[in-house]
Structure 1
C-alpha cells in the first residue's frame, strides 16, 4: 500500500461497535423509562405508567431499527451488491420520538411542580 492510499482496517467491526453502542443506548432508555414511571407515580398516579410504557415502546422500536440496520449493513459489507449504507428511517424516527417524549416530560414536570 502506498502513501495516501486508504483502506478499511477492520471491515465490519465499525458496524458491530455501532450496534453495541445502540444496544447500550436502548438499555439506558429502558432503565430511564422504568425509573421515570416509578418516580412520577406520586405526581401523576397511574398515568406515570403510561409515560414509562411509552419510553419502553420507543426503546423497542429503537432496538428493532438498530438491529435491522446492523444486519443490512453487515450483509452489505459481506457481499457488496447494493448501497453500502441502508436507510435509517426507523432509527431516526425513534430518536425523534424519544427526544420529544423527554422534552414533554420535562415540560410537564416544570409546569406541575409543587
Structure 2
C-alpha cells in the first residue's frame, strides 16, 4: 500500500463540501482559570481554507457556494469529519452544516 502525503494544498473538497481550519480553543476561563485538555469544548469556529464546486442541481448545473476561502464560519458542534494535518486541526463538512459567517 502506498503512503499518501496530505497537505492543505492537496485537499480539494467535492460537491458542496467545505474544508475548515479549526480555531484554537480557549485555554483560560473568563475568571482566569486555566482549563485542562479534558475540560475544553470542541471549537465551533474556523476559517474556510478550501471549498468544493457546489451541489449539482436537477438540471445538471451547479448551485454556487455561499462561503468562500478566507471566511470565518460558525458550524454545528458534531458536524463533519475531523482531520489532523501536522499540528493543525481541520474539519471537512457539508455546506448545510455551516450556521453563519462570522465577521
Whether TM-score is above 0.5 comes out as: no
Relative to its length, the structure with more strand (as a share) is: 2
Report the TM-score when normalising by structure 2. Answer: 0.28
Q: Which has the higher contact order (CA 8 A, sep 6+)?
A: 2
Query: Larger % of helix: which?
Result: 1
